[in-house]
Amino acid sequence: GEPTVMIRIKELPKEVIIKIAAGEVVAGPNSVVKELLENSLDAGADEITIEIVDGGKAIIRVEDNGCGMTAEEMKLSIMPHTTSKISTIEDLYSLQSFGFRGEALASISRVSKMKMISKTQEEEIGTQLEIFGGEIVDEKKVNAKTGTIIEVEDLFYNIPARRKFLKSESVEGRYVTEIIEKFALSNSVNLVYLRDKREIYHFTKDLDLVTKCLKIYPELKSKDLIEIFYEDTSIIISGIISNPKVARSNRTAQTFFVNKRYIKAASLFSILEKGYGEMLEKGKHPYSVIFIDLPPDTIDVNIHPQKLEVKFKEEQKIVMLLKNVIRESLLKKTKFTIEFVST
């Protein structure tokens, strides 16, 4: 008879595809917090409360006073590739929002037990949805303030292999705290953060960058901070760097924002330290909170699923500028710095 041909290539089951895709966006509790905060800010919120329990592994809850969603919009928001923020690919190059992929709520809702409550200004009464593993299991009308509450319970409950990869609650909780610090540094909002019912941070809208830095890094004094600023027609570089004397032994306090978006790029870290050059002791890493602002059509943000990287059109120029701005600010700043160099 006919020899049977083994076909080794098969289409993956839908649920497997969905879980793989969700894994790209949702690395752990900190990436859930990042996505929810971005959504709150995109919704125009200026009051945000974040609560986590057990490092975010048990509960992550973000409440905002943004524009809210109608019941219909809420249901759409958890579908893959649904967004109110862009409609054409060109929109990516004039982007004003943090979001654009329309993937976060779809992904998060598929790998957790999620509750959403939302109400728009125009509505009298809000809507509550309960979603288990991406399926809506309950919908009801509830009293609510204008804005949105999203509660994410038992992240990765339906992907046990993945859940096992989560670190201890203290480590995951620290990652969450770190991402909240980044948002607090780059946004002027009233932001309250509770970890296991304990208030960790309360930033008010009016705080300046130095004050926020001192809150986040209590080991620093204001005399340790050096402001940097550079501006030409195509770029603004601004922020704060530390005196080389008060460096850390790791890079956890080096923060960059490109058009207010938190960016974690090795190239920026290394340029920062090149700017310090010989002023920095070996193995020491300075503090930085640096904002790079460019016309949106000179960067590409669509190169990383968690949007943590960007591509610069003129990478070389930016890198050189940044290094020079840092170097000059350090040299200009203090006798103190120069004394340090010579000792």
Binding interface with ligand ADP (CB under 6 A): 35, 39-40, 43, 64, 66-69, 77, 82-85, 99-106, 148
Q: Tell me which residue has its CB nearest to Mg ion.
A: 99
133 burial via Cβ count (<10 Å: 0-12, 13-18, 19+): middle
- For the CB of residue 65, give the shortest distance to Mg ion in the complex, in Å: 17
84 binds, among ligand ADP, Mg ion, none (CB under 5 to 8 A by kind): ligand ADP
Q: How far apart are CA 311 and CA 303, in angstroms?
A: 7
Torsions phi, psi for 293 (to 5 deg): -115, 125
Q: How far apart are CA 50 and CA 38, in angstroms?
A: 12
- For the CB of residue 121, give the shortest distance to ligand ADP in the complex, in Å: 11
Spatial CA neighbour of 230 closest among 82, 332, 126, 310: 332
Mask of contacts with Mg ion, 85-104, x by CB under 5 A? --------------x----x
Q: Tell me which residue has its CB nearest to ligand ADP.
A: 99
Minimum CB distance to ligand ADP smaller for 187 or for 242: 187
Quick check: 39 binds Mg ion (CB under 5 A)?
Answer: yes
Quick check: 66 binds Mg ion (CB under 5 A)?
Answer: no
83 binds, among ligand ADP, Mg ion, none (CB under 5 to 8 A by kind): ligand ADP
Minimum CB distance to ligand ADP smaller for 43 or for 240: 43
Minimum CB distance to Mg ion smaller for 32 or for 159: 32
The residues that bridge with 231 in the sheet, in sequence order, are 236
Minimum CB distance to ligand ADP smaller for 134 or for 275: 134
- For the CB of residue 146, give the shortest distance to ligand ADP in the complex, in Å: 10
The two tokens of residue 134 are 């991406």
Quick check: 243 binds Mg ion (CB under 5 A)?
Answer: no
- For the CB of residue 240, give the shortest distance to ligand ADP in the complex, in Å: 29
Residues that bind Mg ion in the complex, under the rule CB under 5 A: 39, 99, 104
